[in-house]
Chains A and B, each alone.
Chain A
Amino acid sequence: MKPSEPFLPEDANREITALIQLLHRTEQRLEALTGGEVDAVADQDGRTLLLQRAQDHQRHSEAARQAAILNALPAHIALLDAQGRILAVNQAWQQFAGANALQGPDYAIGVNYLEVCERARGDDAADARRAAAGIRAVLDGSEMRFSIEYPCHSPAQQRWFLMTITPLTAGPRPNGAVAMHLNITERKTAELALQEKENQLSEALAIARIGYWEYEYSSDEFIFNDQYYSLHRTTAADAGGYRMSSADFARRYMYAEDAVIVGQNVRLAFESPDPGYSAKVEVRVLSGNGDIIWVETRINTQKDLQGNTIRLIGVNQDITERKRAEDALRESESRFRALTEMSSDFYWQSDAEHRLNARTSANETPTAVAAFARGTQIGKRRWEIEHLSPDAAGWQAHRVMLDARLPFRDFELSRLGADGVEHYISVSGDPTFSASGAFEGYRGVGKDITERKAAEQRISYLNRVYAVLSGINTLIVRVHDQATLFGEACRVAVELGGFRMSWIGMVDRDATKIVLAGSAGVGDELLSGLKDRFSSGEDASLGTTIAAEVIREKKVIVTRDLLDNPLVAFGKQYAECGIGSMAILPLLNTGEAVGVLALYAEESEFFHAGELKLLTELAGDIAFAIENIEVETTLAHLSRIQAVMGRIGRLIVHMRDSEELFREACVIAVEAGGFRMSMLCLFDRSTTKIVPVASAGKNPEVLDEIKNALSSGAQAANTLIAQAIRERKAVVANRSQEDSRIVIGNMAYREAKINSIAVLPLIVADETLGVLVLYANEPDFFDEAEMTLLTDLTDDIAFAMDNIEKAEKLNYLAYYDALTGLANRTLFLERLAQHKRNAVRNGQNLALFLIDLERFRNINDSLGRVAGDALLCQVAEWLTQMTGDASLLARIDSDHFAGVLPEVKREGNVARLMEKEVKAFMEHPFRLNEAIFRIVPKIGIAIYPGDGADAETLFRNAEAALKKAKASGERYLFYTQSMMDSVAGKLSMENKLRLALDDGEFVLHYQPKVSLASGKLMGAEALIRWNDPRNGLVPPGRFIPILEETGLIHEVGRWALHQAIADYLRWRAAGLPAVRIAVNVSALQLRNRGFIEEVRQAIGVDAQAAAGLELEITESLIMEDVKGTIASLQVIRELGVSIAVDDFGTGFSSLAYLAKLPVNTLKIDRSFVIDMTAGPQGLALVSTIIKLAHSLELNVVAEGVETEEQSHLLRLLACDEMQGFLFSKPVPRDIFETRFLAPPAAAAS
């Protein structure tokens, strides 16, 4: 704008209007452009233009703020107009008017406040009217301000208000006024209290033992009051008046040690120019009779107009009591300090800002102290002190607690010690508050837990190794081929053991290279790297790897310096995988290192002696499994052949027909031997033809083809069969599909997937009678061991063929007893020889028994020969029925029979059988001439191999035994006397036990099981005892094996079951707190098909019975037949009976099976409980078992707990229950009842 231009108001107005409009539009445009997101824009000069929306917001918030201020004031404020009507009120007024009973609820806007005050009635009427007058005075301008204090008591509280009226506008006649009521109750109360206090002061002086004194400078003397003297345990009269010279005072009342302090304070008071000087000092003075008294002296000064101190005024208060308390406190503090320093704990405290302001160093390990003392830690916030853990998040969580002023316990942190090792401490703290409740900080204790941490870590390491061990053991049972074993073993190490990587390398056949056989967790690149490295050795040695070193030295090597060790090729890769250490263990098989197991751990300190010991065991297990798998494969083949031999051996004994023999031999080869096919051919020497006479197998069409090829003759002479006959030697084609010697049936073999063929010649007296041909699917089936067995087999068949040939030629009578149809002596001896061959092969014993019928001659003589023959026939019949197989029996002469038991496992069984059969025989009614006869036998027994190496010797010795039996009173006798003795002992014991059961001599004793946490009785184990009236209480070890051997265990077991249930129900009925009773179940019982039914019947007596019964099954019993046991237990558990695994840990522990077992409780064997206190491994093992059981939700009972230490440890390990002498041995039922079940009162009576 140019100044020279004339100023035109109209134009200017228009311009301004236009500008305003422009501005407005600009603002709107800006608003639109910025989407309402922007508050202000600045121009080039930095002037800020607030946009419309922001301005509105500002205005709004300004008004709101003012209203807020008004509302925030605690005073009740009302705006009155000139007439005294209420125009507006703040929130406080509204609340007050609403709540105040005195003023009523109708003090709302529009009411005339003047009139209300003037109309007031009651106690407050006078005050109200004075208020009204004041308001009127302000409103009419005669007063500038009016205020009045008035009481306004509510029913609950005494209250005072200050009302202030100020004019709304200054001037002669204001157009209104502001009325403000301020609650001054607190001030008023304080004032009243002060008045009250003053009145009480002198009284209080006396009561509080406060003495008053003055010291006059001018006269150098003290003036005392009565209280002062009483403080010194004296009176004014005794002291000689109320005045005393300072020298006199010093001599009489001053305590020499504190005189200096008093003197200093007096001088300071005199010299201070401050008129309000005041000092407080605690000193000792003497009483009238010389006792020391602690006083608190307060000194004030009085000055003259010039400011000189003319007089000291003071009060003394007796604080002896307080001092004593303080001393006591100090004493307890120092005791506490001593205590914390003695324990491993330290004490610490921090201020409100969490800055550490005190900490004792206590008995921490020197390095841990060094960890703390690095730098000055006092004055730092706790989280600012150098530490390794927790991380920021951990501290954050902790600080949330601190901010909430909550106490905390066992906060763990760690610091780096001077030794470079991480030290752990555990800290607890409680917040502290001042008397007024202000937060002052924290204080608490801490403890060096480095060792505990290390121990925990060690246990966790050991547990990991145990997990691997158990996993691999399970694996070994399950896996039957090496490749799977290696792969799975590595996988188990990584998955269960938490190892980073694992691999197994095997030494190859030439012992020149290590071949990777399995791995887990190893990256592909590293894996191929390892492979290359192992295969790169040029020379014949294994190379220079650590693994090679392990194989050479047959010792484990642990490596930690993975980066620096020149033998470690992949240190860098290992470091990248986070590996801190590795262990390579040799797999030793009969002293040779056959391979290595490599384990890589994240922790650099993982492999300690304990871990290595377990890992060595583990390597041993793997090596064992490697060998075992090899052996198993061989055994599987051999056992198939043995099965064939066993059956063919039995066949041969009574086979009298060649064709049948051939047919059966072929069938057995296929059925028992698992061969694909078998064929038997005879060689006709006259025609030199090979004639197939029998065959069996899954591919009859193949056999037909071969038979055709043989009979057609074109290729017959070139076959393997022809070769075997020619050479009188077995011919084997172990890779028949690639074998050029096979000239017939190649296609057919391929289709039938036949890979191995063996042709075995049947040779009698150097002459080949024929061949047995066996076809197997497996390649390489027939190796040396198999062939030896098969040669035996063909010998047997050839022998049988020869025999049959002979038999066919001989008279039937030469071999059989015409009267009874049984074999005669000759045939029996031949059969005996064959049975003996079988027994040798199967490693079994054989029993031969000869029977003589007593008084037979008498019967023959008195009843006639016909009757005698009839009796012999009946005896033969009875014997045939008894043995179930006539071929085992013979009549050897007139009244003598013979029998053979071809498979005897235990001699005791023979005795038992004889006992039983003799009894049955004697009870059997033989009918002769319409009369019943009882016949008494005498028996002589010989056992192979003990009583003779061949059939003849055996027979002779049996005859000798029979002769002896006839001469003695015994019904039967063994050839060997010692056997007789042991059998007799057992039999007498057996009889005694049988009687004991009948006479009720068995009793149940009960051993309590108690909760480790509460000590409460949880259950009882029933233990069987034999209360023998002759020998007293017999320990279970003496009779239970016999019960099991004799089968009596079934009956006794049944009795125990019923007895336990009866006892349980009786306790219930008597109102006693009955507990579940555990009854032991033996292997024989559980395997008995009727057992489940027995349990069902036993608990069937009462609906509550099942809840009172638990069955204890030993671990080894379960492992014998896992599947069968699981099935039985499942059914029993469904009945409501609970199940416990007894002696856990003693069997072949396959923890993996546990998960599948339908059991409720696991009982840790006493041997583990004993080992637990012997070392960390024992402890770790129990800990592992408990954790594992808990993870399977099993209740854990520790058996054989005998010491407090064991019980304490088990409690720490969270074991549920214990049983053992520590609490109680097994006790008779009555004692159990009174001691553990009866209520305390009853027990006391």
Chain B
Amino acid sequence: MARRARFKFRIYVAGEALNSVQALANLRSICLIHLPNRHGIEIVDVFKQPERALADGIFMTPTLVKLSPSPATRIVGSLSHLPTVLQALGLEAVAA
């Protein structure tokens, strides 16, 4: 059932830069509230794995990629504007 789908995220960060730290914190809190027990987060530090970011076509950090459920979505920024983020992740409809 769609309601039970597991969310897989990959977030690209620039070390411990401010926006990156915020983006990660925001992502974690979104997952805790809206997707408890059904999410996975992979963190890619572009300083440590620049070739991976390049391969994935990531040119700005922080960038959040929702890998599943499809369609894959990209969001750039600190993920501070919650409504926009929820909408982009398709979570608003579920809550309603």
A residues contacting B by CB (< 8 A) are 34-42, 45-48, 50, 53-54, 57-58, 61, 392
Taken together as a complex, chains A and B put the C-alpha atoms of A392 and B4 apart, in Å, by: 13
Q: Kindly identify, within residues 51 to 96 of chain B, every residue whose CB is under 8 Å from any CB belonging to chain A.
A: 51, 53-54, 58-62, 76-78, 80
B35 at the binding interface (Cβ < 8 Å): no
Taking a contact as CB atoms under 8 Å apart, the answer to whether A54 and B77 are in contact is no
Q: How far is the CA of A48 from the CA of B61 in the complex (A)?
A: 9
Flag if B37 contacts A54 (CB, 8 Å).
Answer: no
CB-defined contacts of A38 to chain B, threshold 8 Å: 19, 60-62, 76-77
Cβ of B77 and Cβ of A42 under 8 Å apart? Answer: no
Q: Given A34-B77, A37-B76, A48-B46 in contact, is the A54-B59 Cβ separation under 8 Å?
A: no
Whole-angstrom CA separation of A35 from B77 in the bound complex: 9
- Residues of chain B lying within 8 A (CB to CB) of residue A36: 19
- Nearest Cβ distance between residue B54 and chain A, in whole angstroms? 3
Smallest Cβ distance from A32 to chain B, in angstroms?
Answer: 14
Instruction: Sample 27 A-B pairs with CB under 8 A, ordered by A number.
Output: A36-B19, A37-B19, A37-B76, A37-B78, A37-B80, A38-B60, A38-B76, A38-B77, A39-B18, A39-B19, A39-B20, A39-B61, A40-B17, A40-B60, A41-B59, A41-B60, A41-B61, A42-B46, A42-B53, A42-B54, A46-B50, A46-B51, A46-B54, A54-B17, A54-B18, A54-B20, A58-B16
What 10 pairs across the A-B complex have the smallest Cβ distances? A46-B54, A37-B77, A39-B17, A40-B14, A54-B17, A39-B14, A57-B18, A46-B50, A40-B61, A39-B19
Chain B 32-51 near chain A by CB (<8 Å), digits 1 or 0? 00000100000000110011
Chain A residues with CB under 8 Å of B61's CB are: 38-41, 48
Residues in chain B near residue A40, CB distance under 8 A: 14, 17, 46, 60-61
A595 CB, nearest partner CB in chain B, Å: 44
A-side contacts of B54, CB under 8 Å: 42, 45-46
Closest Cβ neighbor of A42 among chain B residues: B59
Distance of A507 Cα from B67 Cα, bound (Å): 64
Contact (Cβ within 8 A) A42 B19: no
Which of chain B's residues have a CB closer than 8 A to the CB of A57?
A: 17-18
Other contacts beyond A38-B76, A38-B77, A58-B15: 15, CB < 8 A? A34-B76, A38-B62, A39-B13, A39-B18, A39-B20, A39-B62, A40-B14, A40-B60, A41-B61, A42-B54, A42-B59, A48-B14, A48-B53, A50-B17, A54-B14
**Contact status A46-B53, CB under 8 Å:** yes
> With A38-B62, A42-B58 given, is the CB distance from A54 to B47 under 8 Å?
no
Residues of the B chain whose Cβ atoms lie less than 8 Å from the Cβ of A46: 50-51, 53-54
Q: Is the CB of A48 within 8 A of B16?
A: no
B residues near A41, Cβ cutoff 8 Å: 59-61
Is A48 a contact partner of B47 (Cβ separation < 8 A)? Answer: yes
The CA of A45 and the CA of B50, in the complex, are separated in Å by 9
Which bucket holds chain B's interface residue count? 20 to 34
Query: Can you name the residue of chain A whose Cβ is closest to the Cβ of B77?
Result: A37
Complex alpha-carbon distance, A356 and B50, angstroms: 45
CA distance A884 to B54 in the complex (A): 120
Most B C-beta atoms less than 10 A away, residue of A36, A42, A47, A50: A42
**B11, chain A: closest CB distance, angstroms:** 12
Cβ contact within 8 Å between A54 and B19: yes
CA distance A310 to B20 in the complex (A): 67
Residue of A at shortest CB range from B20?
A39
Minimal beta-carbon separation of B25 from chain A (angstroms): 14
- Give CA–CA (A38, B60) in the complex, Å: 7
Complex alpha-carbon distance, A61 and B14, angstroms: 14
- CB neighbours (8 Å) of A47 from chain B are 50
Distance, CA A34 to CA B23, complexed state (A): 14
B67 to chain A, nearest CB (A): 20
Q: Which residues of B contact A37 (CB under 8 A)?
A: 19, 62, 76-78, 80
B33 to chain A minimum Cβ distance, whole angstroms, is 14
Do A34 and B60 touch across chains, with their CB atoms under 8 A apart?
yes
Asked whether A58 lies within 8 Å of B17 as measured between CB atoms, the reply is yes
A36–B78 Cα distance when bound, in Å, is: 9
Complex formed: what's the CA distance from A58 to B59 in Å? 20
Contacts of A45 in B (CB 8 A): 54
B13 to chain A, nearest CB (A): 7
Q: How far is the CB of B22 from chain A (nearest CB, A)?
A: 9
- Distance in angstroms between the alpha carbons of A45 and B18 in the assembled complex: 24
Task: Determine the chain A residues whose CB is within 8 A of the CB of B50 once the complex forms.
Answer: 42, 46-48
Q: In the complex, which of the residues A39, A50, A53 has the most CB atoms of chain B within 10 Å of its own CB atom? A: A39
| A61 with B16: CB separation less than 8 A | yes
- Closest residue of chain A to B80 (Cβ to Cβ) is A37
Q: A46 CA to B60 CA in the complex, in Å?
A: 11
Min CB–CB distance A853 → chain B (angstroms):
101
* Complex contacts, A42 vs chain B, CB 8 Å: 46, 50, 53-54, 58-60
List A contacts of B16 (CB < 8 A).
Answer: 58, 61
Question: A62 to nearest B CB, angstroms?
Answer: 10
Q: Name the A residues within 8 Å of B80 (CB-CB).
A: 37
The answer for the CA separation of A58 and B17 in the assembled complex, in Å, is: 6
Nearest CB on B from A175, distance (A) = 34
